[in-house]
Amino acid sequence: MQGGLKERLQKIDGLVAQIRGAADPETKKAALELVQTVMEFHAAGIDRMMEITSEAGEAGWNIIDAFAADDVIANLLLLHGLHPVDLETRVRGALEQVRPYLTSHGGNVDLVEIENGVVTLRLFGSCDGCPSSSVTMKTAIEKAIHEAAPDVIAIHNAA
């Protein structure tokens, strides 16, 4: 992620946790409501920006594709449930990116399913059952999936 985005997201998480732990219930309630209202306002504005952009036809859709490919904007769209590319498509794209690396090592991977944000994969060839298959999955496959789909909750290898 670009320019300290991870740090900013961690700071937001820390501040929200601090608000949730506030002793005064009225202050806690007001602060959480403020955060929720600002989030809803931003989501509505971003959604409207996406609509206006799409109305520009092919040029607009090219811009939306560029939004989806940008780390910062893609994460913002995911945060608000507005990412233009569905989770399965993003995961499949990540697998296509890592597949040449796997095949160069005599292996391959297939997507078995995605359920509630949990991705289940099946490794084939030299990756299936080899001692380093979990390492291969953790390094190449998981990295590619999490970069393309940070909203994935977990990744499992089918038995």
Position 138 scores a pLDDT of 67
Same domain, yes or no: 71 and 94: no
Give CA–CA dist 93/145, Å, rounded: 8
Q: At a CB cut-off of 8 Å and minimum separation 6, what does 155 contact?
A: 118, 119, 120, 121, 137, 141, 142, 145
Give CA–CA dist 140/101, Å, rounded: 8
Mean pLDDT of 82-106: 91
The amino acid that residue 99 corresponds to is R
The amino acid that residue 142 corresponds to is E
Give the CATH number of the domain where residue 122 resides. 3.30.300.130
Q: Please tell me whether residue 86 adopts helix, strand or coil conformation.
A: coil
Q: Which has more confidence, 37 or 75?
A: 37
Same domain, yes or no: 111 and 131: yes
Look at residues 47, 79, 111 and tell me which one is the last residue of a structural domain: 79
Same domain, yes or no: 12 and 48: yes
pLDDT per position as a tens digit, 77-89: 988 989 999 999 9
